[in-house]
Structure 1
Amino acid sequence: MPARTPRSSAPARSSTPARSSARRSANHHGIHLLRSAAAVRGLVESAGLGPDSLVLDLGAGPGTLTAPLARTGARVLAIERDPGFLTRLERRFGDHPNVRVVAGDLVKVPLPRRPFQVVASIPYDLSTLLLRRLLPDANGDASSLAAADLVVEWGFAQRVSRALPRDLETARWGATYELGVIRRVRAAAFAPAPSVDSAHLRVRPRPGLAGRRVRLVLYAMLAEAYRWPDQPARTVVAGVAGRSAARRILGDAGLERGVRAGAVPVDGWAGLARSALDLSRQGR
């Protein structure tokens, strides 16, 4: 695994040779193992899993998240590429009927076609690649992600959860999914402690954006808004819905007529896209 990589790990309560050896190996590769029971509990409780759920533990490590996820009754896919961790996972969960250990890279392993959730402590340097896999792309194509609760680097969580993101890609993510920081996960929650804190990032779909058509309307608006952020938002909406419809859509949204496109938060664009599509369906 790459350097400075947060991972899940059971809390070390003794200095047995096996545990000491595992920690030395992890440290050699720069892996920081999540060992906070409170952080693990917060992730699992936030996910709200049940017997009908399918959940992916990406980068499962020795299975600290895998175990409490399995206790919810959900079907768990514990995905890991490190041979040592895979051996431990197979030994620990080989007889569990609702846990399947999968050897694979979390940014390459095929994702389920049925709705699934993700609960994981993921490598800092793979956070962007993972969200690109899980969230819709610029063409509106999406995975079957129903929800995610992730431990990511604190600064990354702050960037992707802004109401006014700095870049178009992050704006697409935030307009389609609610990205919120639930809590700070201190560096001391890992062994060894990384140089920065992490965050519990909660990812949930925004209502009314499940269809590809509405996402394409939304992304067309966002692309125009980020190309010329100083233009009026009504101009952006008019390009999709027409001038008369744009006035009504902005009025219904409670936005001032002259509001700048760059001043509209991502959830505002989501609402504008839904309204534009609704009016087009009504033939107005």
Structure 2
Amino acid sequence: MARPFQPSRALSQNFLTDRATAEHLARLAVPNGRRPPLLLEVGAGKGALTTTLAPRCREVRAYEIDPRLLPLLRARFLDAPRVTIVGGDFLRARPPRTPFSVAGNVPYSRTAEIVDWCLRAPALTDATLLTQLEYARKRTGDYGRWTLLTVRSWPRFEWRLVGRVARTRFRPVPGVDAGIIRIERRRAPLLDPSGYESWRRLVELGFTGVGGSLHASLRRAHPGRRVSAAFRAARLDPGVLVGEVPPERWLALHEVLAS
């Protein structure tokens, strides 16, 4: 008698079991009328999301790191020519050179690494990821605060919280609810490559926290009078904390301080 499958805590396995949620996530990842030539799925698990993605894409490469799940997946998608099951760690995959999308129910313990992989992939067009709700809210400014990663990448990528999923729609049931985060590469970057480098330096300087306020941190590299002029242009109070500054206001700061 075969032993029942035991999810791996080491792999942060919480399988999506709700079909309606899988359908909703697939619609967010591949809106009607848009058929990506290639979509990479992070952590196919038992194939719940793969099933809903396949009809919407020209090709799905579904990555699964747990070798115990590969026979099940390959049997399930044996007659699905658009689906390729790839055994192995998604993070070791070489990013495709042609435009591609990413979607998946992300292992919570590896979310940061997977997002970093996506942001570094030159041909990535978008990523739709099911993550811990707290992570999704932090990265998209839903708490009214913004993180270094989001602000630094903002000229090239738009971050949005596009859904919430109750923890009861997973097995085993995790301790927290999930959020659906959508990261889209801008068709026209907000800054050119030379401008992005000065943007990166400015944002990283601001997030050092030295001096107790953003105004004080920026004065380490710019004259106080110019910093004050930049704050007026961005309509910011000099005492504002760095995390409270939306990306759009950073663009106004950069326009003054990088000129």
Q: Retained in 2: the 8 A contact 1:233–1:260? A: no
For 1:93, the aligned partner's letter is F
Gapped regions of structure 1 (runs ≥ 5): 1-16, 137-141
Task: Give CA deviations for 1:88-146 in whole Å, capped at 9, x if unaligned.
Answer: 2222223433222222202222121222111100101000111111125xxxxx53221
Aligned residues between the structures: 248
Task: Using the TM superposition, give the Cα deviation of residue 27 of structure 1 relative to its aligned residue in structure 2, in angstroms.
Answer: 3.2
Letter in 1 for 2:172: P
What is aligned with 2:195?
Answer: 214
Corresponding residue for 1:149? 128
Worse-superposed segment, 189-198 or 202-211: 202-211
- Inter-CA distance 43–194: structure 2 relative to 1 (3 Å threshold): same
1:181 offset after TM fit, Å? 2.0
**Alpha carbons of structure 1 residues 39 and 217: separation in structure 2 relative to 1, 3 Å:** farther
SS at the partner of 1:135?
Answer: helix
Q: Separation in 1 of the partners of 2:38 and 2:222?
A: 40
Question: 1:230 aligned to 2:209?
Answer: no
Counterpart CA distance in 1 for 2:18 and 2:158 is: 25
Give CA deviations for 1:134-189 in whole Å, capped at 9, x if unaligned. 125xxxxx5322111111112222222225335x3454245643322222211110
Q: Which residue number in structure 1 is paired with residue 40 of structure 2? A: 56
Amino acid paired to 2:49: L
Cα distance in 1 for residues equivalent to 2:64 and 2:246: 37
More divergent stretch after superposition (117-126 vs 225-234): 225-234
Match of 2:161 in 1: 181
CA deviation string 1:1-47 (max 9, x = no partner):
xxxxxxxxxxxxxxxx98xx5xx323365622101122212211112
Deviation track 1:187-224 (CA, whole Å, cap 9, x = no partner) reads 11011211111111121235524754333222111012
Give the TM-score, by structure 2 length: 0.78
The corresponding residue for 2:93 is 109
Distance 1:60 1:261, change over 3 A: same
| Letter aligned with residue 230 of structure 1 | S
Between the aligned partners of 1:194 and 1:261, the Cα distance in structure 2 is 33
Matched, 1:45 2:21: no
Q: Does 1:205 align with 2:189?
A: no
Q: Which runs of 5+ in 2 are unaligned?
A: none
Paired residue type of 1:172:
R
- Secondary structure of the residue aligned to 2:48 is coil
Q: Distance in 2 between matches of 1:214 and 1:130?
A: 26
Structure-2 separation of matches of 1:269 and 1:233:
15
Could you tell me whether the CA contact under 8 Å between 1:54 and 1:76 is conserved in 2?
A: yes
Give the CA deviation at 1:243: 4.7
